[in-house]
Structure 1
């Protein structure tokens, strides 16, 4: 019998069942920055029936009996950090520069008829700068301290780490706000019927960026940082 109930925190559900992230994303339930609330409360905030959402989660759970062997939240700290860096940090460094020219083109060509595309361009420019600075800081400065602290939790490392984690969480919150605004102004990344291929490509790539960023933030906030909190 499943241990997941309507009283389980959303973030804990995604930690136990990573595939549930897609369901929460589709239902627009925040599982990373605002995920530390019970499923019942999160569902009701979106005017959803908590029992129906839970039923969908149990259906996913039944199909993922062997999930833990492939679940990053079950990795050791070194493996988890390496996974985050390779899958998400390297992924952002590849994707963001490649996506930028398409967004610039769509805003230039279609911005007059669809003014929200100018705001999309602004948000993307801000996100790109913040995410790349954020990941560089983690890779070069914070992750090495985290790994050292989890191996040898000295009082000095504890005091050094506390403000760093708080700052990272604040940056995650800001990225989440920008992504939610992107989804709002693009009507859930739904292009107009007459949209050209580049317009459609931009929306599809932005939606994928949202999905992977939420997964990325979840692994840091609700898995890696939770382990640090327990050791502090």
Structure 2
């Protein structure tokens, strides 16, 4: 088997070459969105995970899905407007749909099961913060940041690029906070563990929270590891 990934490879490079690695990273609770610039070996050592085993799993996954990986890693060379439209269609639209529904069901299960499952109080609180932050975040992207990027692509100017890159640090900071809330939600709910006395709404809510986390990891990856670095590289070239 060809060794594509070794301990020195950054997590964002792994996920860009092998998008299916996102499932494996989620299993081992490895952040590839906001820690994408860190080498995988460093993260595995920090988390006290077995590097030999996990790197073998990553390389095996890449080899087994080689043809599919090539189709899935298309965004690096695409136009900004196409990547942005994909983010809006695939991820922002999903958030507009799922966040209000989850807020309703989390409130329902908190009201019904909160006395016997006290962790639901914190889960309800954290999700409420997450919902507000995500809604504000995607509005800012769609109404301010993304139009600036598309405008820059049509007519590149240094001033427009400077304006864009000044926002990137703020967006990445928000992404880190969003990732932390997701981590806290998972910790509080014991990895979205569904108790034996859970009703159907309880079960569905935790399944949907897990799905939301997966979608957000993919969403933030496209911005943190592809869109933003491309813009920052262009900024470096102009200096």
- Fold similarity call, TM over 0.5: yes
Aligned to 1:35: 36
Aligned to 1:71: 73
CA RMSD of aligned residues (A): 1.4
* Residues in 1 aligned to 2:24 and 2:72: alpha-carbon distance in whole angstroms: 19
Paired residues of 1:20 and 1:57 also in contact (CA < 8 A) = yes
Deviations 1:170-215 (A, max 9, x none): 1101101100000000001111122221111111111111111111
Aligned to 2:223: 220
Paired residues of 2:19 and 2:72 also in contact (CA < 8 A) = no
Aligned to 2:58: 57
Structure 2 gaps, min length 5: none
Paired residues of 1:150 and 1:231 also in contact (CA < 8 A) = no
The offset of 1:12, in angstroms, is 1.2
Aligned to 1:192: 195
Aligned to 2:117: 114
Q: What TM-score do you get using the length of structure 2 for normalisation?
A: 0.92
* Residues in 2 aligned to 1:43 and 1:88: alpha-carbon distance in whole angstroms: 29
Q: What TM-score do you get using the length of structure 1 for normalisation?
A: 0.95
Structure 1 gaps, min length 5: none
The offset of 1:2, in angstroms, is 4.2
1:8-157 equivalence runs, <5 A: 8-66=9-67, 67-74=69-76, 75-157=78-160
**Count of aligned positions:** 232
Are 2:198 and 1:204 equivalent residues in the alignment?
A: no
* Residues in 2 aligned to 1:93 and 1:15: alpha-carbon distance in whole angstroms: 26
The offset of 1:4, in angstroms, is 2.1
* Residues in 2 aligned to 1:203 and 1:179: alpha-carbon distance in whole angstroms: 13
Candidates 161, 164, 170, aligned match of 1:161: 164
* Residues in 2 aligned to 1:179 and 1:145: alpha-carbon distance in whole angstroms: 29
